[in-house]
Structure 1
Amino acid sequence: MDRDYAEPLDVPALARDALMSPGHFSRSFRAAFGETPYSYLMTRRIERAKALLRRGDLTVTEVCMAVGCTSLGSFSSRFTELVGESPSAYRARSHDDGAALPACVAKIHTRPVRRGEASPAGPDRSGRERTRPSPATAEPEPPTAPVPPGARPTAVPGSP
């Protein structure tokens, strides 16, 4: 997906390559990356669009098509959602502040961040209420006792 971001998303083909069902692939992907395959792909597309817009030699429509989006309206909406400003405003402003940064640092600095993503709390498909424990109500992990100087770790049963 990272390399072929301009191609249409084909979750069933990705799932076949991973030897999974499409549903299991999507759930596993979300567990691993924190977002759905489509959201991940759109984030990569917006990331690339930001780089193309910073260059300034392409129009917003050309950038939209270059990154694999087929709808300028959807592209602009998603770009604004992730970046916080419209593609044309992003293209128009100066980006000299990142010019002195190495490419690897600039990529991290300019990575799109999701703003106001919907919370998974609320009813699920079956109508049951889903809840996510808040950090205040989640059980804290038990503290680990410091190992005194010179102490040896205890042997684990079954280990040599």
Structure 2
Amino acid sequence: MSSLVIVRNFMNEAWPKVLKLDKNKLTGAIPQEIGHLKELLCLNLSFNNFYGEIPQSICNLMNLQMLDLSNNHLTGEFPVALEILHFLSEFNISNNNLEGPIPTTGQLSTFRTSSFHGNPKLCGSLLIRDCSLVEEAPVYIIPAREYRMKVIFSIAFGLFFGVGVLYDQLVLFRYFG
């Protein structure tokens, strides 16, 4: 069942206060309609297969006290507007692929760094990763010739080391054995 259908089904009923859909193997993007659930206090979509950006409409959930979007495949810029959710007491977006600066003001600055871990492109003072220094990690490509030389060196070193140890044992055995 897609996440959009689930949200629409909730919208046809009374406004839910808690929406816990963690560990349900849900896929797709988190629907923008999630922002219509204005009375929501708890939103847990963790451990699913959601992808795409965190919808800006989540910032409409002004009563939200708990938001857990961890362990999905979310990408894109960190929604700075999340800092207006003043009632958040639990927050976790760890283990996604979000990027950009984490606001240092508002409610978001009060959460532990573990709430943000596993997002290698997030930066800010909470993560001790300066945003001006964040860039793609360089990829080192070793040319085939250099690789062969390193392999040959390693084999030769191991062989000579083994012969040296064996010779040492023979000498020791001759004098003390």
Name the TM-score, length of structure 1 as normaliser: 0.23
Q: Which has the higher contact order (CA 8 A, sep 6+)?
A: 1
More helix by share: 1
* Higher Rg: 2
TM-score (norm. length: structure 2): 0.22
